[in-house]
Structure 1
Amino acid sequence: MRCPYCGSLDTQVKDSRPTEDSSAIRRRRVCPDCGGRFTTFERVQLRELTVVKRSGRRTPFDRDKLARSIEVALRKRPVEPERVERLINGVVRQLESQGEGEITSEEIGSLVMEALKALDDVAYVRFASVYRNFTEAREFSALLDEISGDGREAAVDEAGGERD
């Protein structure tokens, strides 16, 4: 592992232990050249995933990008970091276990929305507003009605229009 401080390739592992949910190995490393200390995480990757964007473009799946988007939705929400990590691991496991090497960005968004809905309503609405590209306040209202289950059947479709 390359040292992030000096670039040396000769780093040493000082401590290894599983993460709390045993989905990764946390390694404390030290660089003998500069004395820098840093942490790395080793995770199981079942297969290489490719994301098919709405435009048709294909990009490699990036777990960190997924984590950042979830973190933005959860910003300033009272959710423990361990629960967020479990959510991210769960979504990644679902994606990897689908058996497909290519997944659409819509599939990823749907899985994240489903997971966020169970975790935190505010984060769910935040993520949905970006994922579904809300342009009007009534779209928020329809989503909030859907969450509160007040009996209204209005929902917002992927194109942003209201349907009954």
Structure 2
Amino acid sequence: MSCHGDALPWPSHFLLPATMHCPFCGANDTKVIDSRLVAEGEQVRRRRECLASGCGERFTTFETAELVLPRLIKTDGSRQPFDEEKLRAGMQRALEKRPVSVERLEAALAHIKHKLRATGEREVKSLVVGELVMGELQKLDEVAYIRFASVYRRFQDLNEFREEIDRLAREPIKE
């Protein structure tokens, strides 16, 4: 069946442009007022404005191509799907009250996902993800890095904190 003429091989509602609902009032009458690439070109950041009368709120959305990420092999041998929200929450916890923008966090997340996809593997050990997170946090904020490392590596006493801080001071940040 041809897509020219009256007969379409898909429902006609697929041809309508999708609109973003306003998170403040729920209206679907919004417009994009600014778009720019972020996260090294891995995402599009869009500023939007609600056109509903009486609302007019502005909000930000991030658009990312959805590509399949490898499954994770946990230390106990169990397997689970990659969970971006869990990754984001862990990094946000480490970065809490630190001077790191949402854009820089999103760029770090995009970089981690890019590296995971680049392995070409269908499954990766969760330890690989942990090390990637530590590398990104080290570049973003050393305090956040130490916070994450203390939980991830299960520091037991102050000496382990000192050793990690000393190592951090000696070694250059890996790019």
Please, what TM-score do these two structures have when normalized by structure 1?
A: 0.71
Match of 2:42 in 1: 23
Residue in 2 that maps onto 1:115: 136
Q: Could you tell me which residue of structure 2 aligns to residue 91 of structure 1? A: 112
Contact 1:52/1:58 (<8 A) preserved: yes
Matched AA of 1:128: A
Residue 57 in structure 1 maps to residue 75 in structure 2: no
Matched, 1:146 2:164: no
Cα deviation for residue 100 of structure 1 reads 0.6
Greater radius of gyration (CA): 2
Task: Return 5+ residue gaps in structure 2 as ranges.
Answer: 1-18
1:121 CA drift (Å)? 1.0
State the secondary structure of the residue aligned to 2:80.
strand
Deviation (angstroms), 1:113: 0.7
Alpha carbons 1:47, 1:101 under 8 Å: kept: no
2:100 equivalent to 1:100: no
Q: CA deviation at 1:46?
A: 3.2
Distance (Å, rounded) in 1 between the aligned partners of 2:136 and 2:104:
11
CA contact (8 A) 1:91 1:111 kept: yes
How far apart, in 2, do the equivalents of 1:93 and 1:12 lie?
Answer: 34
Q: Percent identity?
A: 38
Output the TM-score relative to the length of structure 2. Answer: 0.67
RMSD, aligned CA: 3.0
* Separation (CA, whole Å) in 1 of partners of 2:101 and 2:133: 17
Distance in 1, matches of 2:140 and 2:43, equals 22
Specify every segment of 5 or more residues in structure 1 that has no aligned partner in the other structure, as ranges: 6-10, 151-164
